[in-house]
Structure 1
């Protein structure tokens, strides 16, 4: 995983960790499963999306605090750091 330059983070849970994090890259796969067996019936791409299947609209990246383990959207860690800037 290539990491671009990121903004400062601060964990909104433990409120002390500013340096140890795990970046979680998310890749959504649209699928249809058989409701009785749980077997995979079909996979979708953006070209063949079923009209009744909503495309994933969540964040591409989540962050886990390396100290307390909290997993949240990246924007939560950035916003908490901006609100509690180091002097």
Structure 2
């Protein structure tokens, strides 16, 4: 199903967007060098002091004004205009 977007910042853009697919992965870094010590696979518990990413899978950026927000923000603002 197609979704209508509208930028809540510039309020005019309804057609030009950058869809950002987020691919987060958990790593443990060496604090002195910044090198990756360990990369955790999906489904593997990295330990009690490492919270796994729980943000959105997609973000949207308005290609007119540059606003970068959660996709739901653009969807909700697009629904407001329809009414």
Same fold (TM over 0.5): yes
What is aligned with 2:40?
44
Unaligned runs of at least 5 residues, structure 2: none
For normalisation by structure 2, the TM-score amounts to: 0.89
**Aligned-partner Cα distance in 2 for 1:13–1:6:** 22
For normalisation by structure 1, the TM-score amounts to: 0.86
Cα RMSD between the aligned structures? 1.4
Unaligned runs of at least 5 residues, structure 1: none
Once the two structures are TM-superposed, the CA of residue 51 in structure 1 deviates from its matched residue by 2.7
Task: Classify 1:52/1:6 alpha carbon distance in 2 versus 1 (closer, same or farther; 3 Å).
Answer: farther
How many residue pairs align between the two structures? Answer: 82
**Structure 1 position 16 matched with structure 2 position 15:** no
Once the two structures are TM-superposed, the CA of residue 85 in structure 1 deviates from its matched residue by 1.7
